[in-house]
Copies of this chain bind each other. A is one copy, B any other.
Amino acid sequence: MDNIMPPNNPSVVTPPEVTLVPNNSLLTETPEEGRQLAVKMARLIIKMTQPDEEKRKQLREVYGNDAMMLIAVGHVVAIEFATVAAANNYWRK
């Protein structure tokens, strides 16, 4: 949980076992897969920031029942997806 408000030695951002970009690529075959990648990337930042699964489970209960937080989740995914879509040149033929 030392990610955004860092300790004074910032040399390690993430525990080595956490992957932040699945398959280490922004390229996907389809928009649907790109959208799933956007969701995964958003999730992995949360996981890196709060690695305790039990706490994440409690927080899921909170935001899943809070209209503003659900909208905020959609907001983050929209931004991640904008990047993924641009990377894939919008999957134009």
Residues of A within 8 A of B (CB): 1-8, 10, 13-14, 19-21, 24-27, 30-32, 34-36, 39-50, 53, 55-57, 59-83, 85-87, 90-92
Contact call B39/A32, Cβ cutoff below 8 A: no
Residues of B contacting A6 in the complex (Cβ-Cβ under 8 angstroms): 43-44, 46-47, 56
A9: nearest residue on chain B (CB-CB)?
A: B53
Contacts of A85 in B (CB 8 A): 26, 83, 86-87
Question: Closest approach, in angstroms, between the C-beta of A77 and any C-beta of chain B?
Answer: 5
Task: Select which of B44, B61, B92 is within 8 A of A27 by beta carbon.
Answer: B92
Contacts A59-B65, A80-B78, A81-B83 given: A73-B45 contact, CB under 8 Å? yes
